[in-house]
Chain A
């Protein structure tokens, strides 16, 4: 028994971290939030590392790694608040297409970095007033909101019945509207369809859940990385900032804030690893673990985001140090693909409680 990362996984983690430290500076993130057009460039460079095809079999041009490996990458991406469509393009869509043996062409293109997916799951998770989809087996009508990665080439759409469909962004009757959201590293929007051709990927509810579980674990991992970075920044700042003729890190109050953050966050690391591992390896626990991991990371992430900001005093509230990019990323992860209350309810029902 060995609970932890393998040597290869540590290597993967190190190389992705080094790459991102070099390629995705905060300045680049800021640029993306202003212009929005650097994500293709960031994505292309991530694909040179093989991250776009991380789950895609080698014979289709991918690297054929495991969901656990993808979890490690998601954490690294969160650590750098990296704008990318990793969740959609490298994880959720491939899980769906591989499980249902569909559209190898799109998988190959994605592995090469020439194709990106977006996600429209809100209808399946919790439909809002003013939205609703109707699929007649051929064409799709209606509106779905809170779509992630709106600039995608193809959308993976989940219906209320938990069927998965693919819709080409350029298909007839497809209209996109950007919905500005709090996390500027993500592009969210609404999609509406008017007799738009859609391809059925799966009617199998197990496939839907497999895709969703993977997505939830990735979001949890992203939060883990983002929270870890905020904690690191807080500790570093506290070691430099002086008030009352001493570094603020020497105040017990400040130390306790940092200790509480790490005490909450450290177990999350093991939890995320296990959840990532369970996706393929402990299938009967995968769903409950995914629900709890995302819900728990959302709570811990929220606490760390607030506390790390507080450690910075007024500086934490400004755009100067840019802490808010992490704060908002954690906030976004919290609500996407199921907010904590919904997830805990789901976890309870899954266990016949």
Chain B
């Protein structure tokens, strides 16, 4: 273990602090994804290397050498200053790392830069009504006709499909192959004729995800990542990244800081929430869990840099990270008590209702991206080498 902060790192921290002090007011709080403010902020962060830090310059990143401690310093100082970091949609969190690993040079040139800048927004078309946990049973088909794929079928739970410019989509291209071997990974524009997006309202009252229908959607032949029939492998590269991003301990740290602030400022019967022993203890428990996951994250990053497999440490991130966030948001609501019930504009709403919203949203994320139960299957089977559940023939099961 070598965690010494060199003089260089101390200087770097001062740079980040100075940057935040100077530019804080430019941060897009509550601005739309498409707003100039959001894009300008993203450009500024990339320019200084505070997001997309290790992505090569030629693709629109900052191009720095990976440095664990600098990454940590950036996360800490942004969280401390309560300033939003860089963008992190499905395109940035999932597609970019996958293209870097498996995309053609042409694809990297075409997609990474506009995705990082926030200009090109993506959605993820995996799940179908009949293919959720059993994703590999998906049925949306793509048939090669001349120079194009012809896509037909339906996706569901497609987050942000209503605003996305492009979709990365799993389709069945080899109907006769075994189910994991017959899938391909296509990229196509959401304004292609034959795509219909129908919003689905979720428990928070928003309609952030959708049903997406494809009828004879024409996709140029070269808009495939990896080879035909390799889509499952490509998707799994992405799923690893998705799972890491869903449990992101740095985002959790920002929320923890916000929670501490809330508990210091709110009072019941004249006593601040943070000084009430029961809430105080719960807060400290949450802080301990956040700490453990943050160090775990450093261990994973470190293993990545040293080209070692972080194995179990990485496998547990989605499960632990989403459950932790759900519990963290729950504490805020409990501590506020009746005030925690407010949802929608009023004088008594705190932090714009984000506690109630995130509490529900993270229940969604406990389910989305592979449910907690599926995570536990993966952890026990891949992580602990335990045997798979015996396959039961549907007809003989009683």
Contacts and interface: CB of A to CB of B under 8 A. Distances in A.
B147 interface: no
B363 interface: yes
B268 A126 contact: yes
B363 A177 contact: no
B269 A182 contact: no
A130 B157 contact: no
A128 B333 contact: no
Given A182-B356, A317-B203, A318-B200, A331 B334 contact: no
A310 B372 contact: yes
Contact of B134 (A178, A244, A247, A316): A244
Contacts of A125: 338
Contacts of B376: 253
Contacts of A335: 333-334, 336-338, 340-341
Nearest to A126: B268
Interface string B231-255: 0000000000000000000000000
Interface in B289-343: 326, 330, 333-334, 336-343
Contact of B363 (A126, A247, A306, A339): A306
A313 interface: yes
B363 A309 contact: yes
Contacts of B372: 310
Contacts of B337: 126, 335, 338-339, 342
A320 interface: yes
Interface string A306-337: 10011001101111100110011001101110
B368 interface: yes
Contact of A324 (B133, B134, B203): B203
A317 B364 contact: yes
A250 B397 contact: yes
B54 interface: no
B345 interface: yes
A33 B62 CA distance: 50
Interface string B347-368: 1100000001000100110111
Give the interface residue-count category, chain B: 35 or more
A128 B339 contact: yes
A155 interface: no
Contacts of B205: 319
- Chain B contact residues: over half helix, strand or loop, or mixed? mixed
A128 B268 contact: yes
Contact of B334 (A129, A188, A247, A340): A340
Contacts of A318: 200-203
Interface in B380-398: 389, 392-394, 397
A110 to B, nearest CB: 25
Interface in A247-287: 247-248, 250-254, 257
B367 A317 contact: yes
B389 A251 contact: yes
Contacts of A190: 346-348
Contacts of A252: 389
Interface string B107-125: 0000000000000000000
A319 B201 contact: yes
Nearest to B278: A341
Nearest to A328: B203
B127 A243 contact: no
B134 to A, nearest CB: 4
Contacts of B267: 128-129
A122 interface: yes
Contacts of A317: 202-203, 363-364, 367-368
B257 to A, nearest CB: 21
B203 A327 contact: yes
A181 to B, nearest CB: 4
Contact of B202 (A145, A302, A319, A344): A319
Nearest to A332: B341
A181 B394 contact: no
- Interface extent on A, as a size class? 35 or more
Contacts of B397: 246-247, 250
Contacts of B343: 180-182
B341 A245 contact: no
Interface in B87-130: 127, 130
A310 B397 CA distance: 24
A327 B361 CA distance: 13
B132 interface: yes
A175 to B, nearest CB: 13
B373 interface: yes
A245 B279 contact: no
Nearest to A178: B346
A204 to B, nearest CB: 22
A69 interface: no
Contacts of A309: 203, 363, 367
Interface in B128-147: 130, 132-134, 137
A55 to B, nearest CB: 25
A145 B341 contact: no
A306 B341 CA distance: 17
B202 to A, nearest CB: 5
Contact of A179 (B127, B203, B346, B356): B346
A180 B270 contact: no
Contacts of A245: 134, 392-394
Contacts of A340: 334
Name which of A126, A246, A253, A314 has the most chain B CB atoms within 10 A of its CB: A314
Nearest to A309: B363
A86 interface: no
Sort A-B residue pairs by CB-CB distance and give the 9 closest, nearest first: A180-B344, A324-B203, A146-B338, A341-B278, A319-B201, A126-B268, A243-B134, A182-B343, A253-B373
20 contacts: A126-B337, A127-B268, A127-B270, A128-B267, A146-B341, A178-B346, A179-B342, A243-B132, A246-B394, A246-B397, A253-B373, A302-B330, A309-B203, A310-B371, A318-B203, A327-B203, A334-B334, A335-B341, A341-B276, A342-B337
Interface of A: 122, 125-130, 145-146, 177-183, 188, 190, 242-248, 250-254, 257, 302, 306, 309-310, 313-314, 316-320, 323-324, 327-328, 331-332, 334-336, 338-342, 344-345
Interface of B: 127, 130, 132-134, 137, 156-157, 200-203, 205, 266-270, 276, 278-279, 326, 330, 333-334, 336-348, 356, 360, 363-364, 366-368, 371-373, 376-377, 389, 392-394, 397
